[in-house]
Structure 1
Amino acid sequence: MRWRSGALGERPMAQRSTPTGRQRRLATELRRIREHAAIPVGEAARLLGVDRTMVSNIEAGRTGITNRRFGNSPACTGAPTRL
């Protein structure tokens, strides 16, 4: 499930039936980084505080990822927190 930040806080967003090009590129890059770090989907899910299905949906571009959750991804990939 996707979440949208706004005046009312974070609220769920529906999954896209067809991911945007931008979402597909992000999804591909996130998967590439995770695989390069040799981190299984289950471990990535645990580190991000979501279940495996969410990681799979994010990496397939079916659902987005919030800035807050994305901020946790360096813990999963070992990537620097600032570029």
Structure 2
Amino acid sequence: MKNTKEVQAILTAIFCLNRTGDRNEQINLICDYAFRRLFGANTNLLSLACIGQSKEEMEKQVNEMLEMETEFKKYMEEYK
């Protein structure tokens, strides 16, 4: 697998965005499983950081994180 250094940021983005609006419990469980298996951590602190965040606030934070830690912005520019 290429660019595994981006996995944590991508999983964090998926988990946090799923916490806004209608939650998909299966996505929560898959993300929690991945955090536990890949990084030896769980999503409890991440869940706490999401409390009280609006969808817009969460999207802004996620986009900033993805821009800093991944090449997602470049991907979006190339594949729009």
TM-score by length of 1: 0.28
Higher strand share: 1
Q: Which structure dedicates a bigger proportion of its chain to helix?
A: 2
* TM-score, with structure 2 as normaliser: 0.29
